[in-house]
Amino acid sequence: MPTTKKAPKKATKKRGVKGNMSAMLAEMPDDALATIEKEGGDLLDLELIEFHWLECEIIGSSPLVTNRFSDESLDAIEGNQTQGATGKKLKKPPRQPEKEFMQAAHICKGKADPAHLEKNIYGFPAVALKKAMANGNYRYGGAKDKVSQMGAFHVHGPWHGLIEVQGLDDKPCIPSMGRDMVQLPKGQIASIAYRPYYFPWKMSVFIRYCPTLMSKDELIHALYIAGNCIGIGSWRTEKSGDKGSFDVGDIKYHGKNFQAPLCS
């Protein structure tokens, strides 16, 4: 059976916005251009996208546990990758529980030093709360996917991406050291993790959202689902744990002309 060769496709050169616009104007009839100029219209009539702000208080109903990846672990990985393998395994030094406990905390202001335990301001990553809201709304709130949820709103982190963890008295919440048995992924080896536990705790969360993509009621509903069905932090509800759950407290609507606080 004879075969026919397909003609090679002609290479097309992509044009930028300016080139496309010039081509459109060149192909447009003169009477259409005259109508646009007479009526004072624009060729591109784009609708203004507005963003509004909500301030929501979340109150912990179970301890909040964090497990920040320490700088020492990052340095060790970087050293292995930049210096190359030597073929020798160095003996690990004895563990220091208090040091590991402080390194696992997200610190807004202060030092990862046991001597500064009660002087620090501690926080939680805003993006982790946003992920919990998107996951909850996708699983239980009727959202079609998680990607559209992640683009519809933004959880503000005043402390360089962190939200301050407070006690119920509005003062910084000071964590206590938890000692938990964990299983390492390599070989299912049992080990101990020293992590900060916050309780009782609360956070003031500022959320920026687009009303045309997600209504205020849908946003608050996503926050409720995140607190009661997903959780935040380590050993949270969605990970078969009982930590990191919260309820929604006071809610303030700030509209669109609002500047969220920034701390340093």
Q: Report the alpha-carbon angle 205-207-211, nearest 5.
A: 150
Along the chain (264 residues), what's the average pLDDT of each consecutive run of 10 residues?
54 49 63 59 66 97 95 80 66 89 96 96 98 93 84 95 97 97 80 96 97 92 96 95 97 94 90
Helix, strand, coil percentages in the chain from 3-state DSSP, rounded to 5: 30, 25, 40
* CA-wise closest residue to 243 among 161, 148, 178, 169: 178
Tell me the C-alpha to C-alpha distance, in Å, between residue 48 and each of 211, 215, 216.
12, 17, 19
The CATH classification of domain 52-70+94-255, taken from the options 3.30.70, 1.10.3470, 1.10.3280, 3.30.310: 3.30.70
Would you state the pLDDT for residue 176? 98
Encoded tokens for 6: 């397909």
The residue type at 228? N
> What b-and-e string marks burial along 187-209, b requiring 16 or more CB atoms within 10 Å of the CB?
eeeeeebbbbbbeebbbbbbbbb
Would you state the pLDDT for residue 12? 47
Q: How many C-beta atoms lie closer than 10 Å to residue 32's C-beta?
A: 10
Residue 155 near residue 127, CB atoms below 8 Å = yes
Would you state the pLDDT for residue 104? 96
Place of tokens 């993509």: 213
Q: What is the 3-state secondary structure (H, E, C) of 56-75?
A: EEEEECCCEECCCCCHHHHH
pTM comes to: 0.79
Q: What is the 3-state secondary structure (H, E, C) of 74-137?
A: HHHHHHHHHHCCCCCCCCCCCCCHHHHHHHCCEEEECCCCHHHCCCCEEEEEHHHHHHHHHHHH
Encoded tokens for 150: 């992640």
Domain ranges of the chain: 52-70+94-255
Residue 66 near residue 106, CB atoms below 8 Å = yes
Tell me the C-alpha to C-alpha distance, in Å, between residue 3 and each of 6, 7, 42, 249.
10, 13, 52, 72
Residue 54 near residue 249, CB atoms below 8 Å = no
The distance of Cα 134 from the centroid of its chain, to the nearest Å, equals: 10
